[in-house]
Amino acid sequence: MRLAGEFGQLEVRIAHKVFTSASGERFEVLRNIQFRLGRNEVAALVGPSGCGKTTILRIIAGLENDFEGTIGRPLSGKLGMVFQEPRLLPWRTVEDNVGLVAPSITRETLASLLKDLDLEAHRGHYPGELSLGLARRVALARALAVEPTLLLLDEPLVSLDEALALRLRDQLAALIESRPITTLLVTHDLEEAVRLANRIFLLSARPAQIVAEIPLNTPRSARSEREVARIIGEIASRMNDRSS
């Protein structure tokens, strides 16, 4: 069921999500996932791969309707989403891919968005001519072009080389910082979560449940290397405690 949440809020209450495999076997993927995000909050869902993180995003995005529970999405405004694969239209240029979902975007806004993501030189290119890193940035530009109130990111930096991932991560941080967006990020990379989020939800293996919630109170830009390393260590040891 999908309800309109309070202004600018995302409210997730998933009691159960069950998948039926091709052979008719039923297995539970999610159990009792509940959280609420306020306006401007950035949360990260972190957990072992295959635990059902993407399913949570898909339920929130309205792509999975067969579950027990309710989702309250921000009352007004649009949804922006970055899928794990860029999912661009191969037969449209970069500019058209971004402009298509946001018909009311002005030329200037579009240009400045492409500039923010270093895509100016590629606006006339087709997705087949782009590297994965570039395509990811286009997907991000598309999600931001609709001026979303809710932004869902599914492993936006996965399988990029480290230098590129770092750069894109900083760009991403700057972009969500400058906009009134509620952001939910799915990742298996702790550092990514700690750098970007102000709340982290740790998920268990299947069926995924929230095993811990970690608030990060220092503002994103003020987090020092040492602090980030300390938090990562803390979370990692907690995760190890659980699995041992």
Q: Which positions lie near other proteins, rule CB under 8 A? A: 61-63, 78-81, 83, 85, 87, 89-92, 100-101, 126, 128-129, 142, 146
DSSP string, 120-170: GGGTT--GGGS-HHHHHHHHHHHHHHT-EEEEEEESTTTTS-HHHHHHHHH
Would you say 10 or 194 has its CB closer to other proteins? Answer: 10
For the CB of residue 152, give the shortest distance to other proteins in the complex, in Å.
8
Number of CB atoms found within 10 A of residue 106's CB: 9
Would you say 101 or 174 has its CB closer to other proteins? Answer: 101
- How far is residue 50's CA from residue 54's CA, in Å, rounded to a whole number? 8
Cα–chain center distance at 47: 14
Which amino acid appears at position 214 of this protein? Answer: I
For the CB of residue 101, give the shortest distance to other proteins in the complex, in Å.
4
Contact 42, 196 (CB under 8 A): yes
**H/E element holding 73?**
strand 68-73
Number of CB atoms found within 10 A of residue 201's CB: 23
For the CB of residue 94, give the shortest distance to other proteins in the complex, in Å.
11
Q: What are phi and psi of 30, to 5 degrees?
A: -125, 145
Would you say 62 or 180 has its CB closer to other proteins? Answer: 62
For the CB of residue 87, give the shortest distance to other proteins in the complex, in Å.
4
Would you say 13 or 125 has its CB closer to other proteins? Answer: 125
For the CB of residue 147, give the shortest distance to other proteins in the complex, in Å.
12
Would you say 43 or 98 has its CB closer to other proteins? Answer: 98
